[in-house]
Structure 1
Amino acid sequence: MRISILFLSVILFFSCTTNKEVDLIVYNAKVYTVDSAFSTVDAFAINNGVFIELGESEDLLQKYNAKEKIDAQQKAVYPGFYDSHVHFFGLANLIDEVDLKGSASFEEVIERLQDYHKAYPDKKWLVAGGWDQNLWADKNYPTKDSLDKYFPEVPVFLSRVDYHAAVVNTKALHLATLDSAYVVEGGFIAVDSLGKPNGLLIDNAVELVAQYIPIPEEKALYHMLRKAQDSLVSVGLTSIVDAGLSDEEIDILKKFYNQDSLQIRNYAMLAANPENINRVLRFTPFESEKLTIKSVKLMADGALGSRGACLLSDYSDEPTKGFLLYSPQELDNIIRLLANSSFQVSTHAIGDSANRVILDLYGKYIKDKPERRWRIEHAQVVDSADFSKFKLFSIIPSVQPVHATSDMYWAEERLGEKRIKYAYAYKELLNQYGKLALGSDFPVEHFNPLYGFHAAVARVDDAGFPKGGFQPENAISREDALRGMTIWAAYSCFQEKKRGSIEKGKDADFVILDDDIMQVAAEKLRSVKTLRTVIAGETVFLRN
């Protein structure tokens, strides 16, 4: 009997000792848990990559023996930031391309290309992205003429900032055997006075040339993705939604994540169109610790900046309504097939006509199935009669607040005084659905989530323009903006039970900032720095 009691005591002793061993305690912090009560605590404990307890610093430090302790020195701590709409490969590719963002003229574009070509004379193609004619004194689209003058022998491909238009030179057109113009459904090949392609391609026409650009070798692509990931974690991002990937890109991600080569959590969407839908449907949803594939991304229309967004009536500055990238019947067929699959559907819709078409098709096939959590990506221009459909059909608005402050300089020219009131209407979308998934759409916009946070709550650009904010009635609160880039983003990916907030049992993803974005003056939000980013309890970024 005495031996049994002694044996039990030994077991209990070692059991208690084991229970008190944890990997990490963060204490002396202001922790925004973003739980249902939006409560704050000052400490938490982590073991095996998950939060195991939250509470007071003194209590947790007494209760647990931690392998590592972080004194947050009263800094603010948040759930890891979650970008609900990105293009990871696009950001990675920019590392090996010419960055044209902010160029003040096409002449500056040429200068940047020349500098790059001198530095890398052996490049088989000159590929660049980021030009925006709306920022130039001459707001006309560029053509191939200047490109041919300075780059007659090397193919040139320049994506517009929205990646829905491109300008190429004659060499690129020849390699793509695009020497004459023809009608492209859901796209446009611009022509010169002789009816020949002038180098400008919009929406579905872009791929006619893009498909000939050499793909980086796997080793090079791996390093590019790692560099892109380094940039993302340096601003507090721990999860992203990769919006629309090819079969080849999906295979590459699976390989890299299987090798533990990438750390950032990725909710990847399969790119689908009427031509490849049957092949896409042969995929089965996939989920590992860091990579999930269970959503399909469709494209309904183009972008507002290149007048490819599909509107109910003509643009105010040009006699065109834009266009759908596929016919309504093709979209109906593809959405019907996906409604009978296990995939979530996420559709790019910018114009009010595109949003109406997609909302009505969603309602037709999943009206009584809120658990499907289908999404509309961007929802930029919505007719006043259609906002209620987000609530009626349980459709998640996935929006990018920085688009509002990037487009506000010219958006009213495109839409007119009346229609602009129903554009970038994030507050109204929030009122309808009750949640917003916030993202950046990088590399179209910058990947720093605090830029989107600032745009969402202040509705101004980095210089504080305009005074009082662009359509301030559609600003959202800081609490809602933080939810949009954490728990609501996770909800939009069926992940709210395992990430998106700092709660017991959830993945230990968090970020420590050098100032409190819930309290700091709005004009300082963009300058707040990330001090530490942690994924699954492991530090992936630490500011020196």
Structure 2
Amino acid sequence: MTPQARTLYRNGRVYSPAYPRATALLVADGEITWLGTDADAPAADTVVDLDGGLVTPAFVDAHVHATDTGIALSGLDLSAARSARDVLDAVAAHCAALPADAVVAGHGWDESAWADKAPPTADELDRAAAGRMVYLSQASIHSAVASTALLAAAPQVTVAPGYDASGWLRRDAHHVVRGIAMGSITTAQRRDAQVVALRTAAAYGIAAVHECGGPGTSSEDDFTHVLSLGGAANGLPEVYGYWGELMGAAKARELGALGAGGDLYADGALGARTAHVTRAYLDGSEGACGHAYVTAEQVRDHLVDCARQNAQGGFHAIGDAAIATVVAGFTAAAKIVGRDRLRAGRHRVEHAEIMNRDLIRGFVEYGIVASMQPAFDRLWGGDDQMYALRLGVDRSLASNPIGAMAGVGVALAFGSDSPVTPLDPWGTVRAAMTHHNPAQRISARAAFAAHTRGGWRAAHLDDEGILQPGAPATFAVWDATPGTNGLPVLIAATPDEPTPTLPSCRRTVLRGVTIFDENDL
């Protein structure tokens, strides 16, 4: 048998509650085989000097859309736009380097912060893009503006729910044009976008992502392609897929997905006013209370199908009415397959933004994993941002109840929903610590655990996300000064102090293989 090559990482500070004095770790065959101080370190074939860097378990982003993320990172990112004119100017500048027949895809505009909240019209997009087909998704990815040329390519869109002649599309109409726009991306463009997204994730200390796809979000080809890209063998983070098709447990398995969930929509999004809420929106008439896309009976049947296929299930559910429908479906499914069997499935709810005590109780009872995005509160919470405009201040401050859920033992897995919010794991940890509502804040350790071990556990990988002998050698090295809890200082001790700089990633290692090294940039 060939001896295993052994790599010693030394002269660092290792975040391992079981070994708080550790400054070094030995890696062989993809595992940590030893952890301790430099003075006690064993011999190794290769020695890596950490130069005082902080070593932590690598992050897991529990909800991403790789192709959209890559397009936003390498193409038309509209997150900085503060008006329709800004969007149009960005489109025109972007088109200057495109062929005449190119389809323009962009993402990230958010009219909720604009003085004039009207987005560009289809006619305006035609002029800015010189007649090209244009698809620009709103920050939530649950609505978009489309050019006349793109609308003309989908004549059925005019009779689909959510159609508006202005070109701002929601619901089924949005899904129609999104399918055409994203379907126009070539295989090479799609691969490039996915690789950009995964490489960027690795550069942020992310070693695994949960790709959420399904009809209306991505194609089967798009989904299976990103699954095939991930992994240390390709020098990229691992990709765990969730395919969101109702009664699709067998299909999910066929596609190589871990579960039949993710983007299986129980409702839409608050940004598009399509999230299903019990009390009407304050700033628009779109459905008054949003839209329900599934019934409790459909939720029940889907969960029973998942149980019988031994597959993890789940739903996208944002509004309290939608989440109530999902929990009612769990209650009905438990009568068929039993509560313990449901709990063992670790079925998921993505987002879970508008909750109440009864819904949280349901998450506890059925062992539902809450896949949440603390950056949603940072960007849209509080008393004067999008949630307050849509729902009112009281409901805004009660949204994304991370603290209430963590306090009663709901399993949390944090992510970005990129490109809805950027890949930014330390920013996510800080957002959970600094929720606009102090009652919903959690500690740095709890937030870090939700963004590391929580993501692995959500994927049924219970031995991941911790640094100790026998564990996978999956970690990140940071340029950061740890605080008293061993993690970087992320918030100021007093209001008068400046906000600490977020840690910078030096290296990301996945199962012993370096997938990012700042020296290779």
The TM-score normalised by the length of structure 2 is 0.88
Determine if the alignment matches structure 1 residue 30 to structure 2 residue 13. yes
Q: 1:516-527 alignment to 2 at 5 Å?
A: 516=481, 518-522=487-491, 524-527=499-502
Q: Whole-Å Cα distance in 1 between the matches of residues 19 and 325 of structure 2? A: 36
Determine if the alignment matches structure 1 residue 54 to structure 2 residue 26. no
CA contact (8 A) 2:10 2:25 kept: yes
User: What's the C-alpha RMSD, in Å, of the aligned pairs?
Assistant: 2.5
**1:97 partner amino acid:** G
1:481 matched residue in structure 2: 447
Q: Whole-Å Cα distance in 1 between the matches of residues 504 and 315 of structure 2? A: 33
Among 415, 418, 424, which residue is 2:391 paired with? 415
Identity %: 24
Determine if the alignment matches structure 1 residue 173 to structure 2 residue 151. yes
**1:368 partner amino acid:** D
Describe the shift of the 1:418–1:521 C-alpha distance in structure 2 as closer, same or farther (beyond 3 A).
closer
1:440 matched residue in structure 2: 416
Determine if the alignment matches structure 1 residue 381 to structure 2 residue 354. yes
1:228 matched residue in structure 2: 197
Q: Over residues 85-111 of structure 1, what are the superposed CA-to-partner deviations in whole Å (9 max), with x where a residue is unaligned?
A: 111122123355311111010001000
- Give the C-alpha shift of residue 72 in structure 1: 2.0
**1:209 partner amino acid:** V
Determine if the alignment matches structure 1 residue 210 to structure 2 residue 182. no
Describe the shift of the 1:30–1:474 C-alpha distance in structure 2 as closer, same or farther (beyond 3 A).
same
Q: 1:115-514 alignment to 2 at 5 Å?
A: 115-151=93-129, 153-178=131-156, 180=158, 182=159, 184=161, 188-190=162-164, 197-213=165-181, 214-245=183-214, 246-256=219-229, 260-261=233-234, 263-273=236-246, 277=247, 281-284=250-253, 293-297=258-262, 298-319=264-285, 320-366=288-334, 367-369=339-341, 370-408=343-381, 409-459=385-435, 470-497=436-463, 499-514=464-479
Q: Whole-Å Cα distance in 1 between the matches of residues 19 and 412 of structure 2? A: 16
Q: Secondary structure, in 3 states, of the residue corresponding to 2:514? A: strand
CA contact (8 A) 1:335 1:362 kept: yes
Q: Whole-Å Cα distance in 2 between the matches of residues 447 and 154 of structure 1? A: 30
1:465 matched residue in structure 2: none
**1:510 partner amino acid:** F
CA contact (8 A) 2:29 2:512 kept: yes
Q: Which runs of 5+ in 2 are unaligned?
A: 493-498
Q: Over residues 224-266 of structure 1, what are the superposed CA-to-partner deviations in whole Å (9 max), with x where a residue is unaligned?
A: 3222222111111111111225421343235445994452111
CA contact (8 A) 1:439 1:485 kept: yes
Describe the shift of the 1:234–1:168 C-alpha distance in structure 2 as closer, same or farther (beyond 3 A).
same
Determine if the alignment matches structure 1 residue 41 to structure 2 residue 15. no
Q: Whole-Å Cα distance in 1 between the matches of residues 462 and 278 of structure 2? A: 36
CA contact (8 A) 1:450 1:526 kept: no
Describe the shift of the 1:69–1:203 C-alpha distance in structure 2 as closer, same or farther (beyond 3 A).
farther
- Give the C-alpha shift of residue 490 in structure 1: 0.8
2:516 matched residue in structure 1: 541
Q: Whole-Å Cα distance in 1 between the matches of residues 51 and 404 of structure 2? A: 39
Q: Whole-Å Cα distance in 2 between the matches of residues 434 and 209 of structure 1? A: 37
Q: Whole-Å Cα distance in 2 between the matches of residues 506 and 295 of structure 1? A: 28
1:532 matched residue in structure 2: 507
Q: Over residues 24-79 of structure 1, what are the superposed CA-to-partner deviations in whole Å (9 max), with x where a residue is unaligned?
A: 11122211126xx584522211101111121222222xx33x12212223321101
**1:107 partner amino acid:** R
Q: Whole-Å Cα distance in 1 between the matches of residues 19 and 347 of structure 2? A: 26
Q: Over residues 454-511 of structure 1, what are the superposed CA-to-partner deviations in whole Å (9 max), with x where a residue is unaligned?
A: 111123xxxxxxxxxx1122111001011111112111111121x2111222221111
- Give the C-alpha shift of residue 299 in structure 1: 1.2
**1:476 partner amino acid:** I
Q: Whole-Å Cα distance in 2 between the matches of residues 410 and 49 of structure 1? A: 45
Q: Over residues 493-540 of structure 1, what are the superposed CA-to-partner deviations in whole Å (9 max), with x where a residue is unaligned?
A: 11121x211122222111111113524251555532111111121222
Describe the shift of the 1:390–1:132 C-alpha distance in structure 2 as closer, same or farther (beyond 3 A).
same
Q: Over residues 100-143 of structure 1, what are the superposed CA-to-partner deviations in whole Å (9 max), with x where a residue is unaligned?
A: 11101000100000001112133421111111101211123443
2:495 matched residue in structure 1: none
Q: Which runs of 5+ in 1 are unaligned?
A: 1-14, 191-196, 460-469
Q: Whole-Å Cα distance in 1 between the matches of residues 230 and 205 of structure 2? A: 20
Q: Whole-Å Cα distance in 2 between the matches of residues 519 and 95 of structure 1? A: 27
Q: Secondary structure, in 3 states, of the residue corresponding to 2:379? A: helix
Describe the shift of the 1:283–1:442 C-alpha distance in structure 2 as closer, same or farther (beyond 3 A).
closer
Describe the shift of the 1:423–1:259 C-alpha distance in structure 2 as closer, same or farther (beyond 3 A).
closer
The TM-score normalised by the length of structure 1 is 0.84
Q: Whole-Å Cα distance in 2 between the matches of residues 247 and 542 of structure 1? A: 32
CA contact (8 A) 1:156 1:171 kept: yes
Describe the shift of the 1:339–1:152 C-alpha distance in structure 2 as closer, same or farther (beyond 3 A).
same
- Give the C-alpha shift of residue 178 in structure 1: 4.1
Deviates more, 1:255-264 or 1:393-402: 255-264
Describe the shift of the 1:339–1:205 C-alpha distance in structure 2 as closer, same or farther (beyond 3 A).
farther
Q: Secondary structure, in 3 states, of the residue corresponding to 1:204? A: helix
Deviates more, 1:306-315 or 1:24-33: 24-33
Describe the shift of the 1:521–1:439 C-alpha distance in structure 2 as closer, same or farther (beyond 3 A).
closer
Q: Whole-Å Cα distance in 2 between the matches of residues 296 and 339 of structure 1? A: 13
Q: Over residues 376-429 of structure 1, what are the superposed CA-to-partner deviations in whole Å (9 max), with x where a residue is unaligned?
A: 111101123322111111111111110101112121222224333431110001
Q: Whole-Å Cα distance in 1 between the matches of residues 90 and 255 of structure 2? A: 42
Describe the shift of the 1:282–1:301 C-alpha distance in structure 2 as closer, same or farther (beyond 3 A).
closer
CA contact (8 A) 2:84 2:119 kept: no
Describe the shift of the 1:342–1:328 C-alpha distance in structure 2 as closer, same or farther (beyond 3 A).
same
Select the structure of larger CA radius of gyration: 1
